[in-house]
Structures are given as C-alpha cells and as structure tokens.
Structure 1
Amino acid sequence: MGDPITIALRFALYIDLILLFGLALFGLYSLKGQERISGVVFNFGSILLWAAVIGTLLSVAAMLQMAKVMSGASSFFELHQHILQMIVTSTDVGLTWMVRIAALLLVAVAAIFSKRAPTLSLILASVLGAIALSTLAWTGHGAMDEGLLRYVHFTSDIAHLLGAGGWLGALVAFVLLLRSKRLDGERRLRLLSRTLTGFESAGALIVISLAITGIANYVLIVGPEISGVMRSTYGLLLALKIVLFIGMLILAAANRFHLSPLLDRSLQTGSYAPAINALRRSIILEFAVAIAIVSLVAWFGTLSPEMDMAAE
C-alpha cells in the first residue's frame, strides 16, 4: 500500500485542479455572453481564486512530502534546503511543479478580471488550468518510461486528465445550477436544460477519450498481461475503477436519454419538481462515483504493478 499522506495529497490535488480546469471550460462552452460574468450564474471570481490558492498550497505540501519520502527523513523538520532545491531544479517532476505553481498564480490573476472581462478570464483560466492539470502526468507511471514511449505515455495521461476535468467540471456545474438561487426558478431550469443538451456532444467525446486513453495507459503500464495483474492490489483497484466507470456511464446515459428529456417536457407543463429531484439525485450520485474513481487513481498511481505482482 502507498503512503497514506501521499495518496491523500494526490487525491486533493487531482480534485482541485480537475475542478479548476473543468469549471472554467464549462463556462466557455456552455454559458453565453452575460452569463459568463462572475456572479450572474456562477461566482467564477471566487471559484477560480480559491482553486488556485488551494492548488498552490497542496502543490507545496505535495513537494515537501515527496522530498521527505525521497530523503528518508522522519519529519518535515529534518528536510534540508539543498534536498528541496535539488528536487525542484534538477528533476522533471520539480520542473513541472514550478510550471504548475506559475500557472496557478496566473489563474489567480485571471480571476480578478472575471467581472470586467469574463470571456478572457475564462479562456486564460481554462488554458492555465489545463497546463496545471497536465503537470500531474509527471507524478504518475509515465515518468518511469524512457525515450519515445515516455512522451507517448505522457500524452495519453494528459488527455485522460483533461477528459476527467471536462467531465467532473460539468457535473459540478450541473449540481451548482440545481442548487443555485442566483436565477429565478424557471430561468435557472431553462439554463440547466440548455446546458445539459449542449453537453451531450462534448460528453460523448470525453467518454471516448477516457476509454481510449484508459486502455492505452493500461497497456503502457502493464502490457497485454491480464490474469497476473488481477491477482495484485493494483489490478483489483483497477478492476474496481472500471466497474465504477461503467456505473458512471449508466448514470450518464440515464441523464441523457431519460431525465434530461423529462426536464424538457416538465418545463412545458410547468410541473418540474419531480424531474428536478430525480435529476439532482442522479447527478449527485454520478459525481460521488466520479470522486470514488479519482480516489482510486490517486491510490494505484503510487503502486508499481510489477513489484505488486512479484509480491503476490
């Protein structure tokens, strides 16, 4: 089993950066004109600023934890400056860490303009959020590869991370819309209906991307081996992730083909409480499943399949 503190920090960092990127991206492709202004639909100024600040603090904590583990120190107080300096300036993970910190600081700056220049603010936050999220690929299994395979693996990891960001960001946006009191009831529900419909194409592309890159990552990490892997902790966690992913797709299909059309029909009749309650339960459950998947990724990303299989 991996170090619990490392796993917890990885999980928190995944969630923070995924939501930073995903919510900013959602604001760009789902909201229009005045809807993008912070405070009209979502308080983008606070969301982006806090996500950037928390992401920076978590990144610092993760770097300190990595240095502690790599140096064998029993506490953070035993860490020497030269160890941190060596990791930050002389390793790929350290260099990408600096890129992440810079991107997050710039997101905080972009958040300041969320009312005066909302579209520009969201564009900058989406691009910088994508950069920050992509740097997490260097903390995964791809960092163990060499040559061309290393960059193929990084590309697959980055695509997987960005796909997850697009998916979870949309789920959180839908939950916020269902709970929002910024808009009157019918206007809010019509916006929810429109964004749900608009997400259909993007959601399909994200699912395809997640499936392809998920398979690619498995092959790049383990190879064609299946039976041996399934007897290891890594394999069991991966199998659980696949089961949860299938469950998430079933919930998404229910939203797409049943609950979203039900909401559209209820808006025409004016009796939309049952549709809203059903949609709320489904989306919250889908989000909970997605969070469970991210927690598994944070865990088995610290495991070595080869060592795990050998131990078995």
Structure 2
Amino acid sequence: MDDWLSIAIRFALYVDLLLLLGLPAFALMNRTTLLSRSDAQLNVRRFVLGAAVIGLLISASSMLVLAKAMSGVTQFSELSQHIFEMILMGTDVGIAWVVRVVALSAIVIVTFAVQRHTASSHGVVAALAAIALATVAWSGHGAMDEGARRYPHLIADILHLFAAAVWVGALAAFAMLLRRAKTPSFDQLVGLSRALAGFAMVGTLIVVTLIVTGAVNYWLTVGLSLSPLVSSQYGLLLLAKLCLFFAMLGLAAANRYHLTPRLEQSIDRGDTRAAVKALRSSLVLETGAALLILLLVAWLGVLSPSAPL
C-alpha cells in the first residue's frame, strides 16, 4: 500500500513540476503566441500559481510518506518532530526537499507580486521551477551512487528532467492554443502554426538530450548489459517506457512533417477544421503517452534495478 501511495505522489509531483517549468519555458520561446494576448497571459499566470501551490501540497505529502518509511513507524500519527528534523537537516533528500519548498514558495510570491507576466517574470518563474524540478533527482537512483559516479548521474538525471519538462510544457501550450482555436480567428491559427513550426529545432535538441541522458542513466544504474531489460520488473517497465517514448517520437514526427504543413496549407485555403481536428487528436495521443511514461518513471523510482522477476 505504501509503495502505491509513494508512486502516486511521485507521479503527481512529476506532472506538476514538469508543467511548472515547461509552460513558462515555452512561453519564453514563443512570446508572439502566448505572451501577446492578455487572456493567454492570465491563463499562464493562473496555471503557474496553481501548479506552485499544488506542488507545495504534494511535497508536504511526500515528506510524510518519506518520514514514515525512514522511521519505520506503522502509522502517520506516530511521526514526531524529531524524525522530521533528522530528515530535513541530516539527509540529502531532506535538504533537497527544503530547497524545493523554498523555490515553490518563491514562485507563489513572484506570481502574486507580478500582475502582468512579461518575458522577465517568466524567466524568473522558469529559473525557480528549474531549481524545484532539479531537487527531484535526489529522490532517484542517482542519489544512491557514491564517489565519482554520483554527480555525473545526478547531472544526467537533471538534464533528462529539464528536457522532458520542455516537451511536456510544449504539449500543454499547444493544448491551450488548440482550445482557443475551437472557433479560431486567422491570427490565432497563424500563431499556432508558427509555434508548431518554431518548436521543430527545440524538439530535436530535446530528443537528443533525452536519448543521451537516458543512455547514461541506464549505464550508471544497471550497467552495460541489456539482459536486465528482460530479467527484472525494473527492466520490463523500462522497456515499456522506451516503447512509449518511441511512440511519442513518431507522433511528434507526424506533427512536424505532416500535420503542421497541412495546417499551414489549410490556412491558405481558408478551411482549417479538418487540419485542426487531426492535430488535436495527435496531441491527445502524445499527451496520453507522456502521462503513461511519467507513471512508469514514478514506479521505476521505487524499484531496485537489480531485483529479479
């Protein structure tokens, strides 16, 4: 039961923090689409504030579960102040938790203080969100390494998280733009088309980063052998994650090389309904695959890579 609770909390934290970094990062890269309209600015501001508050609540829940697991008590009511002080002051994961809470609290303060989001305020939020997201690496397998392997593993984990955040943030941003495009104006469709086309180069860098850091993480966690992929629960879940990743890659390629040019052509013709519908369906599938990957990552985080089936 505790494992499934831990998985659920990890999953919720991944989704929240990836979006909290990814959406402002996308907004910075596409100012003409998300920052040019007051309604979009308002949506982003509300989302950032809500995600930061939710992140604080999830972090509080994660600390309760962590304290229960590390102390060995059977009930949450048995937890004492001393246990929390020991974790927060005496462990790396506790210090990382404090840094995350401070960063998320700062995002809440910044969001309240800035009524109209600008590029600079989005930059501040993205930087604070990056700090909050980076702390998640200290609750993964990289934090278990010692010596010369520890910091390369943590850096690879953090870069992997950052790349995933930009991809997930882009999916969320495209969903916002498509929702506004239910009864689209010409300007809205042009903005959507430009955002899709402009993400192509960034998307390539994201894929390269995910593949390289994923390979480094596998090597540092499991080793050079591929046999664990079929001989352990960890390996089978990792294989499922890879299949979903390549499915996302295929959908992203279809968006880039087929659906985006189709949207551009439909704008020229003046009939965009079919193109928007096809793009929306593709992004729904891609988002669903991304959520399943995050669920698998949360599950992998509580498993021992060396444990056999």
TM-score w.r.t. length of structure 2:
0.96
Determine whether 1:262 maps to 2:292: no
Mark the runs of 5 or more structure 1 residues left unpaired by the alignment.
none
Q: Which deviates further from its counterpart, 6-15 or 222-231? A: 222-231
Match of 1:193 in 2: 193
Determine whether 1:132 maps to 2:142: no
> Do the aligned partners of residues 237 and 33 (structure 1) sit closer, same or farther apart at CA in structure 2, a change above 3 Å counting?
closer
State the distance in 2 between where 1:250 and 1:168 align.
16
Q: 1:73-112 maps to which residues of 2 (within 5 A)?
A: 73-112=73-112
Give per-residue Cα distances to partners, 1:7-64, cap 9 Å, x unaligned. Answer: 0000000000000000010110112398256524561221111000000110010011
Deviating above 3 A after TM superposition, structure 1's stretches of 4 or more consecutive aligned residues are 113-117, 181-184
| 1:69 CA drift (Å) | 1.1
TM-score w.r.t. length of structure 1:
0.95
Match of 1:273 in 2: 273
> Do the aligned partners of residues 34 and 275 (structure 1) sit closer, same or farther apart at CA in structure 2, a change above 3 Å counting?
closer
State the distance in 2 between where 1:82 and 1:93 align.
16
Mark the runs of 5 or more structure 2 residues left unpaired by the alignment.
none
Match of 1:302 in 2: 302
State the distance in 2 between where 1:145 and 1:122 align.
34
Q: Which deviates further from its counterpart, 31-40 or 74-83? A: 31-40
State the distance in 2 between where 1:141 and 1:36 align.
42
Matched-pair contact (CA < 8 Å) for 1:28–1:122:
yes
State the distance in 1 between where 2:119 and 2:108 align.
15
Matched-pair contact (CA < 8 Å) for 1:45–1:114:
no
Matched-pair contact (CA < 8 Å) for 2:137–2:154:
yes
Matched-pair contact (CA < 8 Å) for 2:178–2:280:
yes
Q: 1:38-117 maps to which residues of 2 (within 5 A)?
A: 39-40=39-40, 43-117=43-117
What amino acid is the match of 1:281?
S
State the distance in 1 between where 2:117 and 2:279 align.
33
What amino acid is the match of 1:35?
L
State the distance in 2 between where 1:85 and 1:38 align.
45
Match of 1:123 in 2: 123
State the distance in 2 between where 1:286 and 1:71 align.
40
Q: Which deviates further from its counterpart, 180-189 or 150-159? A: 180-189
- Percent of matched pairs sharing the same residue: 47
| 1:226 CA drift (Å) | 1.4
State the distance in 2 between where 1:36 and 1:147 align.
48
What amino acid is the match of 2:52?
A
Q: 1:159-308 maps to which residues of 2 (within 5 A)?
A: 159-180=159-180, 184-306=184-306, 308=307
| 1:196 CA drift (Å) | 0.4
State the distance in 2 between where 1:264 and 1:14 align.
34
- Aligned partner of residue 73 in structure 1, secondary structure: coil
CA RMSD, aligned part only? 1.8
- Aligned partner of residue 39 in structure 2, secondary structure: coil
- Aligned partner of residue 110 in structure 2, secondary structure: helix
Give per-residue Cα distances to partners, 1:63-83, cap 9 Å, x unaligned. Answer: 110001111222211111101
- Aligned partner of residue 305 in structure 1, secondary structure: coil
State the distance in 2 between where 1:304 and 1:220 align.
13
Matched-pair contact (CA < 8 Å) for 1:17–1:132:
yes
State the distance in 2 between where 1:155 and 1:7 align.
23
- Aligned partner of residue 39 in structure 1, secondary structure: helix
Matched-pair contact (CA < 8 Å) for 2:244–2:289:
yes
What amino acid is the match of 2:275?
A
| 1:183 CA drift (Å) | 8.8
